[in-house]
A and B are shown apart, each in its own frame.
Chain A
Amino acid sequence: MASFDKGLARHVLQHKQAAFAMSNRNTKPYLEALPYTSILILIVGIPIATLLTISFWETDGLQLYPNFTLENYKEIFTSKLTLILYLQTIKYTVLTLAFSLVIGFTCSYFLVFFVKSLKIQIALFLLCTIPFWTSTTIRMISWVPFLGKEGIFNTAAQGVGLIDQPLAFLLFSDFAVVLTYVHLFTLFMIVPIFNSMSKISPSVIEAARDAGASDFDVLINIIIPLTKTGIALGSIFVVALVMGDFFVVRVMSGGQSASVVSAMKNDIDQLYYPQAAAMAVLLIAVVLAFVYLIMRVVDIRAELER
């Protein structure tokens, strides 16, 4: 009897231990994630919750009143301005994405497949980052004296007789805005694409060649598919940076063009915080939609584990 009890007790104990181990296995990952989660809640969750709350409040252009209203959203969704601003911003985003992708891909391709020496490869890669040794603002402003009507390019081109009249479209135009974005953000494309490309095993390419693939076939069927994680990551950077900008648009368009964020800033300057908050919420939704689309095309998580 006693031994039976003992046996039972041992059995129960084993059960308990197993259950404990089980629950431990369940809670441990959560505990491990706790510090990071709390930081995220603190610096991302709370601000966004605040933004969301204020976007439903009333204001008289001075004080905020915590009365629930849909007026701010109604104003955004019924205004022609919202559409104009988003079309404008999306136009900039798509153009910048296209140019930085082509340039970023080409640079990475050259670095990975044409430069044989690792030392030179690293040296050239560092060269790409040189412009980043100064501030974004300086890199942007330095285009102004170059592109102006009386600027270096126009003066030089007129000097050698290339043009009679200065080209006004070079500065304070969509051209200037996109040029600056591409200049500022292409590196964000180069780095992830370079990273993906350098992981491609040379043997895969050799095998393809042995099977009779041309350079073009290799590019289309091997390199691009194996680089799409990098492309996706780079695209997310560029989309977020361009859609969140107002300063480049303001300076390089000479104030002649507006973006979603520059209109938001106008509202903030005039103390219309709830309206600006509502616009910010919409912008976050749009950027997330973009990111979602990109993730749909490429399963970044799976690719990164590769």
Chain B
Amino acid sequence: MTGKIEKLGNAGISRRKVLKGGAATLAAGSSLMAAPMVWANNLKDISLKQVGPSFSVYPDIAEKASQDLGFKIETQGAWTDALMARVVKQPETVDIADIEFWALSKVWRSKQLQAIDTGKIKNWDKVIPLFREGKNFDGSDASRQGILPYEVQYTDAPGSESFADGPTGFTTVLPTIYNADTLGIRPDLIGRSIESWAELLNPEFAGKTALINIPQIGIMDAAMAIEARGDFVYGDKGNMTREEIDKTIEILIAAKKSGQFRAFWSSFDESVNLMASGEVVIQSMWSPAVTAVRTRGVNVSYAPLKEGYRGWGVGMGLMSHLDGLKLEAAYEYLNWILDGWQGAFMAKTGYYSSVPETAKSVLSAAEWDFWYGGKAAAVDIQDPFGSLQGSAGLVRDGGSFEDRMGNVACWNTVMDEDRYMVKRWNEFVSS
């Protein structure tokens, strides 16, 4: 069975090559390849709409894919909250959804996404063990605080609305990009080294700190700080009890009243501006935001902290309404995504690919060593659009890929007490 599916997958690739070459003749073999002209004609009319957050869905990637594949990929930006609503309420407006793993725990049971057959994914075996097996690089089990992507990675069978405990051959989404988040700091304005999440609540930085105003993520950054400060230890920071939520919110309200926070940011740009303008010297931050601040010539450190990182991942999901030729095209696109070009592009924004070895084949050796290896840059480092990120000699904060992704303390999440948590978070924000 697997062998046969494998062959279909390969057939897809050779068919594409044939199409690109414009030749109608085919290598002998699969029956699926019987009518290549029909394919060629229909395929170029196909258009897939990919919707997702701006750090994942880039028009540049879609354009390159459209060139390589011979059909059209259209992109549309939507943050995870808006995307969840569209997947559930207006599924026909999306073909491929770039969705965060934590959001899957909310929307998968709506059955608007279909299971992906891993047999049709050529590079599935090369996907890092974190997603495939829930293991770190050294073979140890990954942290399960919050929603480890592996917990929502597999489903039992097509049409199932639940998640499977282990590999089944059917995945909910195809993992694409992920990263380990930490605090962003302005070393020039702080003037000493920052080693713990507890610094977020340190009165020394009163009026100069910021938190992300997405309740599910903001409360975890706060929990990392509270636990690091030694107030108390959470059972699971990613799935707090009501009592833990209450204690956390009380601490946060007290901190807010004493003027600890300068702002709560809701969009990527806000976090960039807060940091670049110096309004804030220590805050929740994302890697591309760090990159964006550096592009403005302002030094930001995205240093590892001793308690570990907060991890997250995004996967591409196929909507249930895809079938026939459109579904085949979508699988081709998924295979193209893992082929290396997208991985190399994303690497230059600071994010990792689920198949690092194909990304490696597209990146230059110096780029690979900097982004994945954690080594000092041998050449000037550029972002995917050619803007300077840093001169030769720069070292990536946190070191190598294995060091960073192997040190995730908790994952982005939806708690069982989500509704209660959001309500209390609103109280904190308006206190």
Write the residues of chain A forming the contact surface with B, with a CB cutoff of 8 angstroms: 61-63, 79-81, 84-85, 88, 144-145, 148-151, 168, 171-172, 250-251, 254-258, 263, 266-272
Question: Judging by beta carbons under 8 Å apart, are B418 and A61 in contact?
Answer: yes
B320 to chain A, nearest CB (A): 15
CB of B266 within 8 Å of the partner chain: yes
CB of B430 within 8 Å of the partner chain: yes
B90 to chain A, nearest CB (A): 13
Interface of B: prevailing SS? helix
Question: Judging by beta carbons under 8 Å apart, are A81 and B109 in contact?
Answer: no
CA distance A63 to B207 in the complex (A): 41
CA distance A255 to B256 in the complex (A): 12
Q: Which residue of B lies closest to A144 (CB)?
A: B273
User: Which residue of the partner chain, among B85, B263, B423, contacts A271 with CB atoms under 8 Å?
Assistant: B85
User: Which residue of the partner chain, among A81, A84, A85, A150, contacts B277 with CB atoms under 8 Å?
Assistant: A150
Question: Judging by beta carbons under 8 Å apart, are A270 and B418 in contact?
Answer: yes
From known contacts A144-B273, A270-B422, infer whether A256 and B279 are also in contact, taking CB-CB under 8 Å.
no
CA distance A255 to B263 in the complex (A): 6
Q: Which residues of B contact A172 (CB under 8 A)?
A: 262-263, 279
CB of B53 within 8 Å of the partner chain: no
Q: For the complex of A and B, list the 6 residue pairs with the smallest distance between their C-beta atoms, beginning with the closest.
A: A254-B263, A255-B264, A269-B81, A258-B430, A255-B213, A150-B278
Question: Judging by beta carbons under 8 Å apart, are A81 and B427 in contact?
Answer: yes
Q: Which residue of B lies closest to A81 (CB)?
A: B427
Q: Which residues of A contact B207 (CB under 8 A)?
A: 168
From known contacts A84-B431, A149-B279, infer whether A256 and B266 are also in contact, taking CB-CB under 8 Å.
no
Within 8 A of A (CB), among B393-431: 418-419, 422-423, 425-427, 429-431
CB of B265 within 8 Å of the partner chain: yes
Question: Judging by beta carbons under 8 Å apart, are A148 and B84 in contact?
Answer: no
Q: Which residue of B lies closest to A59 (CB)?
A: B419
From known contacts A84-B430, A258-B429, infer whether A62 and B262 are also in contact, taking CB-CB under 8 Å.
no
Q: Which residues of B contact A271 (CB under 8 A)?
A: 84-85, 88, 106
Q: Which residues of B contact A270 (CB under 8 A)?
A: 81, 215, 418-419, 422
Q: Which residues of B contact A254 (CB under 8 A)?
A: 210, 262-265, 274
Q: Which residue of B lies closest to A80 (CB)?
A: B427
New contact pairs (18) apart from A255-B264, A270-B81, CB-CB < 8 Å: A62-B88, A62-B109, A62-B110, A80-B427, A81-B427, A148-B277, A172-B263, A250-B266, A254-B263, A255-B266, A256-B256, A256-B261, A263-B430, A266-B215, A266-B422, A266-B426, A268-B85, A269-B81
Q: Which residues of A contact B423 (CB under 8 A)?
A: 79, 81
Greatest chain B CB density within 10 A among A145, A258, A268 is at A258
Greatest chain A CB density within 10 A among B88, B106, B426 is at B426
Within 8 A of A (CB), among B77-111: 81-82, 84-85, 88, 106-107, 109-110
User: Which residue of the partner chain, among A61, A88, A256, A268, contacts B263 with CB atoms under 8 Å?
Assistant: A256
A254 to chain B, nearest CB (A): 3
CA distance A267 to B422 in the complex (A): 8
Question: Judging by beta carbons under 8 Å apart, are A150 and B279 in contact?
Answer: yes
A274 to chain B, nearest CB (A): 12
Question: Judging by beta carbons under 8 Å apart, are A84 and B427 in contact?
Answer: yes
B186 to chain A, nearest CB (A): 11
B88 to chain A, nearest CB (A): 6
Q: Which residues of B contact A255 (CB under 8 A)?
A: 213, 263-266, 270, 429
B211-226: CB near A (< 8 Å → 1, else 0) gives 0010100000000000
Band of interface residues on B = 35 or more
Q: Which residues of B contact A250 (CB under 8 A)?
A: 266
CA distance A46 to B278 in the complex (A): 48
Selected A-B contacts with CB under 8 Å, 6 pairs:
A63-B110, A81-B430, A148-B279, A250-B266, A255-B270, A258-B430
Q: Which residues of A contact B106 (CB under 8 A)?
A: 61-62, 271
Greatest chain A CB density within 10 A among B82, B109, B207, B213 is at B213
CA distance A116 to B430 in the complex (A): 49
A242 to chain B, nearest CB (A): 16
Q: Which residues of B contact A263 (CB under 8 A)?
A: 426, 430
A186 to chain B, nearest CB (A): 26
Q: Which residues of B contact A257 (CB under 8 A)?
A: 429-430
Q: Which residues of B contact A81 (CB under 8 A)?
A: 423, 426-427, 430
CA distance A172 to B265 in the complex (A): 11
Question: Judging by beta carbons under 8 Å apart, are B429 and A256 in contact?
Answer: yes
Question: Judging by beta carbons under 8 Å apart, are A149 and B263 in contact?
Answer: no
Q: Which residues of A contact B429 (CB under 8 A)?
A: 255-258
B262-292: CB near A (< 8 Å → 1, else 0) gives 1111100010011001110000000000000
Q: Which residues of B contact A85 (CB under 8 A)?
A: 426, 430
CA distance A255 to B431 in the complex (A): 11
Q: Which residues of A contact B262 (CB under 8 A)?
A: 168, 172, 254
B355 to chain A, nearest CB (A): 32
CA distance A145 to B277 in the complex (A): 8
CA distance A85 to B426 in the complex (A): 9
B238-267: CB near A (< 8 Å → 1, else 0) gives 000000000000000000100001111110
CA distance A180 to B322 in the complex (A): 47
B175 to chain A, nearest CB (A): 23
CA distance A270 to B431 in the complex (A): 21
B2-45: CB near A (< 8 Å → 1, else 0) gives 00000000000000000000000000000000000000000000
CA distance A255 to B274 in the complex (A): 12
Q: Which residues of A contact B431 (CB under 8 A)?
A: 84
CA distance A148 to B88 in the complex (A): 40
Q: Which residues of A contact B278 (CB under 8 A)?
A: 149-150
Q: Which residues of B contact A80 (CB under 8 A)?
A: 427
Q: Which residue of A lies closest to B215 (CB)?
A: A266
Q: Which residues of A contact B427 (CB under 8 A)?
A: 80-81, 84
